[in-house]
Amino acid sequence: MRTREHWGLLAAAVLLVVALPALNALPAGSPIRVSDFTLNLFGKFLAYAILALGIDLIWGYTGVLSLGHGVFFGLGAYAMGMHLMLEIGTQGVYRNVLPDFMVWNQVTDLPVFWRPFYSAPFTLLAVLAVPAVVAGVFGYLMFRSRIRGVYFAIITQALALSAWLMFNRNAMNLGGTNGLSGFKTVFGFTLNDPRTQRGLYVATAVCLCGAYLLCRWIITSPAGRVLVAIRDSETRVLFSGYSPAGFKLFVFVVSAALAGLAGALYVPQVGIITPAKIGVLPSIEMIIWVAVGGRGTLLGPVVGAVGVSWLQSILTTSYPDSWLFVLGGLFISVVLFLPDGVIGGCQRLLARAGAPRPKPAAPAGEQGAAQVTRS
């Protein structure tokens, strides 16, 4: 079974990393060609899948429900967006030009915290480090105080609301409600070029494979067994001599870094980042991805993020007013009928199908005869 699972995951990785980009590179008239729009759409979905993996690590395997992961996604996205905005000013005759929204707000000099984002290496480091540091400080204060359960979920929700309000302010010099948009290039490559978009998709697919392997390595390690024990009974883990706070802080920081990476990959493929991706509603929607796919399975969050986002793309095109009702109904249905999610439910069905059936009991007379024969 393990061998078949490994081969299945390898086939899925080859399909995502190699096959889809190859089909996109075919001539425009080819009947099996994947369009640029479809590949770009799947790139966005795969970025969501990286985010969902991080949430599954903290919620599915550790039992800590975070309703504020939109903040970490937004921090990574804004870090990448700031670099892309600064690239616009280095393309024309006049270099170091302020972003448009700063000119409109009568800002005369580039803010100090923007200047390091001229550097591409610093930006790549920041998309991981900034969410990780924020999660480290926040998690340290929460876990040290032994805040858990519904109280932790409420506080993370308050964090998402506070971040949304803060990023909406023009005084932050981050674009206010309009956010950051109008990007032209990414690391010197033209964003409108289909080859650039194909490269971004491949980078996202490779990062998803790397995130999956990282999460798998964590949960199969001795630390991963402690995380599952914390999920099942944190009090017993504490009495066994382990410090649940340290393990939860570690996995919370890793989860935030994955969310920041997802945000950084999302921005150049979509072309915009606004505070709307940081607030409470996006954070709750991220939880729904994991719940629908199946928390505690690794594969479930990927399936949930891609499947729910794809369904949203279809329904918002044809029936834009009904999507929220469908999303709510989907979540309620999963909670009532598939508490383990789609992947978890499929695993249970396969386990039942593969389990050996008990042999029917022999009649009483035959059992007595068999006992006499043995004696």
pLDDT tens digit sequence for 102-114: 888 888 888 999 9
- 71 in a structural domain: yes
Residue 215 lies in a domain: yes
The reply to whether 354 falls in a domain is no
Give the highest mean pLDDT range of 4-8, 103-107, 174-178: 174-178
Number of domains in the chain: 1
In a domain, 345, yes or no: no
Residue 263 is which amino acid?
Answer: G
* Whether residue 4 has pLDDT greater than 90: no
pLDDT grade for 373, boundaries at 50, 70 and 90 = very low
Q: Of 118-122, 349-353, 366-370, give the range with the top mean pLDDT.
A: 118-122
Q: Tell me the residue range of the domain where 228 lies.
A: 35-276
Residue 292 lies inside a defined structural domain of this protein = no
Residue 327 lies in a domain: no
The pTM score is: 0.91
Residue 95 within a domain: yes
Is residue 66 in a domain?
A: yes
